[in-house]
Structure 1
Amino acid sequence: MSVDVLTPTLTDNWDQPEAWKIANYVAQGGYQAARKAVGMDPDAIITLVKDSGLRGRGGAGFPTGVKWSFIPQTNPKPKYLVINCDESEPGTCKDMPMLMATPHTLVEGVIISSYAVRAHHAFIYVRGEVLHVIRRLQQAVADAYQAGYLGKGIFGTEYDLDIVVHAGAGAYICGEETALLDSLEGRRGQPRLRPPFPAVAGLYASPTVVNNAESIASVPAIVARGADWYKLMGTEKSAGSTIYSVSGHVKRPGQYEAPLGTTYRTLLDLAGGIRDGHQLKFFTPGGSSTPILTPDQLDVHLDYEGVAAAGSILGTKALQTFDETVSVVRTTLRWTEFYKHESCGKCTPCREGSWWLVQTLHNLEQGKGHEGDIEKILDLCDNVTMKSFCTLADGFVANITSSIKYFRDEFEAGYHTPAWELFPYEKSVYFPYERERIAVSEGADQ
């Protein structure tokens, strides 16, 4: 497969020496879009982003420019821009590499976006465990201040902007925008009841825009090259390019920036295909909180509409790839264990449902299940779906129900046979040096 399918925009300078340094970023045209933007009418920038068709890259896919337009400019309270960099879903790894490679792309996007919504304070919320990313962002922000791109009268105008890089405490739930806002305010991160929505009463009960890091980092290119250029990539309803994260049993795992609507067959070819001697069994199109897909869906267009039509969600475009050595029962259990651990506990269906689902799946993995367990699982999922404040519960239900849909026979085998007998776990391990460790730990479990 030719690399011509790739459309490096966000990733264009990842291969440049020390691309994260401000001098190198400026030498490649960095901050010219921000300089241009602060001379424009803010409403014109919002219209430009609307016309570009840019949609939120955090999972929901809501039109970015439309979201900005919800901010009530007649409200006398301060306006805030909050960037969600709390990337922590299993398999999702697009924002952190971007922030390590080229943090100034995000900083420039924050400047433009803040100016468009009339915000004078912006917050970049980063998952606390990724200390290396936090330090790189902090350095980038400090360098931007020193260059006069942040602070008072940026680019010689009357516009003032301050950016704070905030380290979270390592809670997956803070990826949900209202839980993130509570965390920023110093409270325990838990989803808020809506309405009111953040655009009306967000951070400090003031009008707030919350956007994903990739969404905001896409803005400088749109301002620099125009909406029509951006729409040349992608599909009619899902414009532009995006970063697909391909991981698992492929030869070249990594980040691939390609137009929205690219098929997984294409991305799989770019990633070198499945490891030698094996074949694709299933994959996630958007991370572990999205319904799994099978080889029958290799040619589904990976945009918001195409994946939805296939019965899944594009999500964060985290394409976790599994070959025939993998037990679906085990992957489903491991994912559900993660969501059980990360549930904030606020909602009873999520808190209790995840606990009971883990117990039942654990029995099936050990071959200790009972007739009717699958029906019990599906009934639990039905009682959890759409009954919580946020979509965390919907996410772990999605991968369970889809796994049973495609691989029910493996779950039924859990009535009498342990998963490790049907699918020896050491065969699934990609790196040979891990095989012995897995074999020892599984032997201890047994």
Structure 2
Amino acid sequence: MTDTLTPVLTANWDQPDSFTLDGYSRDGGYKALPKALAMDPDDVIATVKSAVLRGRGGAGFPTGMKWSFIPQNDGKPHYLTVNADESEPGTCKDIPLMMANPHVLIEGIIITCYAIRASHAFIYVRGEVLHVIRRLQLAVAQAYEAGYLGEDILGTGFKLDVVVHAGAGAYICGEETALLTSLEGYRGLPRNRPPFPAVEGLYASPTVINNVESISSVPSIIDKGSDWFSGLGTEKSKGYGIFSLSGHVKNPGQYEAPLGITLRELIDLAGGMLRPGHPLKFWTPGGSSTPLLTHEHLDIPLDFEGVGAAGSMLGTRALQLFDDTTCVLRAALRWTEFYQHESCGKCTPCREGTYWLVRAVERLEQGEGTDEDLETILDVGDNIVGRAFCALGDAAPVPISSAIKYFRDEIILHSKNGGCPFDPAASTAWAV
């Protein structure tokens, strides 16, 4: 079973000096860089396209195709912005990656900037994770000292400067246009599109925005080839990815495996469910913004198509597992409260809709609601989705609407019993 794992980004995490230049270089780090710099930039893009690397930040858009959207010979500076503002509830892969292996991100940044003809790159990190910011700053300084950053990199004439930028802790800044607005020094609010960032992004110039794991996957593709990468995973979801298991599992953590692995396999790798006799009740395949699934979906392939066919999204592969001791309505309420708190307030559907969602779900959870409240919640959600400036509005109704889909009877019992009827001592009372 352990052969299922494919440690690439996580291969050296157990080494005490994995975060240093020496530790990274000892394990083959910066081997892909001279190879990439000897290629034509368009060939680098073609290699990433051929590997079919899809964005690891949640949307799954082909990375090489995104790079190719950058106009060339336009007389404008080009920028790369790495989205390291990991704030999605349950998502916890980029922070440990940057903490344990920051140089793989730096090497990926250099190769990416060479491919898109950019001479400036920014790593936008959550300001709360000061330890990660310091580690990134150390890695950038080491890369400058080694000649991997700065002027005339490896004698090729290519130059690149990298800035580690600390955000102010707003979930909305994980949305790419709000991130750019924040990076420019303004309040992080999403922008209208078009124009898209590839045409008019940071400082009104062509900009590529990629997730940490997406950029970090580039060196292995250049080093081992696109055929090697596309040989992993499934037919349409190629390669490997970091799956973050948290919640009611014996050994939570990061499991790097080919896309298409099942949750059942991952739970086995993690030593099984936490409490004997308490089975899996519900789980998120990609963080709280992805619709809940149940134990009936244990064997679906965890790739973009398989999870989509089951009615959810692969997202960031943040697998939050809840056993039958958990009240699904209480969990949905906590997530909904998060989205209300983190709404930037720019657009009315999200600002007002999230407020009323929380009020309605609170009434239900306290046993003061009615059956009609369920339809009201679904109606409010329908009036948010597709009507907001950014994806936060689309995500906000997801926890409660998917909870209603699978656990309507349990939610209704809250009202009938005048409060939460859930008995955590009963091992299978609410297993679905």
> One fold, TM greater than 0.5?
yes
Counterpart in 2 of 1:341?
A: 341
What's the CA shift for 1:385? 1.0
- In 2, Cα distance between equivalents of 1:400 and 1:138: 40
Aligned twin of 2:383 = 383
- Report the RMSD for the aligned CA atoms in angstroms: 1.4
- Identical columns (%): 65
What are the Cα deviations for residues 65-91 of structure 1, in whole angstroms up to 9, with x where unaligned? Answer: 000000001321100000000001110
Matched, 1:206 2:189: no
Cα deviation for residue 310 of structure 1 reads: 0.3
1:16 is paired with a residue whose SS is: coil
Q: CA deviation at 1:29?
A: 1.5
**1:22-421 to 2 correspondence within 5 Å?**
22-275=21-274, 276-417=276-417, 420-421=420-421
Task: Using the TM superposition, give the Cα deviation of residue 416 of structure 1 relative to its aligned residue in structure 2, in angstroms.
Answer: 3.4
Give the whole-Å Cα distance in 1 for the aligned partners of 2:77 and 2:320. 41
Query: Does structure 1 conserve the Cα–Cα contact (< 8 Å) formed by 2:324 and 2:424?
Result: no
**SS at 1:412's partner residue?**
helix
Deviation string 1:115-136 (CA, Å, 9 cap, x unpaired) is: 0000000000001101100000
Could you say what secondary structure the match of 1:416 adopts? Answer: helix
8 A contact 1:33–1:224 mirrored in 2: yes
Q: Which runs of 5+ in 2 are unaligned?
A: 428-432
CA distance in 2, matches of 1:303, 1:385: 24
Structure-1 separation of matches of 2:85 and 2:16: 27
Aligned partners of 1:45 and 1:387: how far apart in 2? Answer: 38
Identify the residue that residue 430 of structure 2 maps to in structure 1.
none
Indicate the residue corresponding to 1:443 in structure 2: none
Structure 1 residue 207 displacement after superposition: 0.2
Do 1:345 and 1:351's aligned partners in 2 also have CA atoms closer than 8 Å?
yes
Q: 2:187, 2:418 → 1: CA distance?
A: 39
More displaced, 364-373 or 69-78? 364-373
Whether the 8 Å CA contact 2:367–2:420 is kept in 1: the answer is no
Q: Determine the C-alpha separation between the residues in 1 that align with 2:418 and 2:99.
A: 42
The amino acid across from 1:253 in the alignment is P
Equivalent pair of 1:235/1:260 in contact (CA under 8 Å): yes
Residue aligned with 2:380, SS:
helix
Q: CA deviation at 1:353?
A: 0.5
Amino acid at match of 1:220: P
Q: CA deviation at 1:208?
A: 0.2
Secondary structure at the counterpart of residue 124 of structure 1:
strand
The amino acid across from 1:272 in the alignment is G
| Cα contact 2:414–2:420 (8 A) shared by 1 | no
The residue identity in structure 2 corresponding to 1:287 is G
Partner of 1:430: none
The residue type paired with residue 47 of structure 2 is: L
Counterpart contact for 2:70–2:116, Cα < 8 Å: yes
For residues 176 and 418 of structure 1, do their structure 2 counterparts lie closer, same or farther at Cα, with a shift above 3 Å needed?
A: farther
Q: C-alpha deviations, 1:294-339, integer Å up to 9, x for none? A: 1111011110011000000000000000000101110000000000
Quick one: distance in 2 between partners of 1:273 and 1:404?
A: 27
Amino acid aligned to 2:402 = S
Which sections of structure 1, spanning at least 5 residues, go unmatched? Answer: 428-446
**Matches of 1:326 and 1:297 in 2, distance apart?**
18
Q: Which position in structure 2 is the counterpart of 1:431? A: none
1:444 counterpart residue number: none
Q: What secondary structure sits across from 2:379 in the alignment?
A: helix
Q: Which amino acid aligns with 1:231?
A: S
Q: How far 1:425 sits from its partner (Å)?
A: 9.8
Q: CA deviation at 1:414?
A: 2.3
Residue type of the alignment partner of 1:270? L
1:285 Cα deviation from its structure 2 partner: 0.4
Opposite residue 415 of structure 1, the aligned amino acid is S
Measured in 1, the distance between the counterparts of 2:113 and 2:67 equals: 10
Q: Note closer, same or farther for the CA distance 1:87–1:418 as it changes in structure 2 (3 Å cut).
A: farther
Structure 2: distance between partners of 1:83 and 1:223: 19
**Pairwise CA distance, 1:418:** 5.3
1:408 is matched by which residue type in structure 2? R
Distance 1:187 1:320 in 2: 34
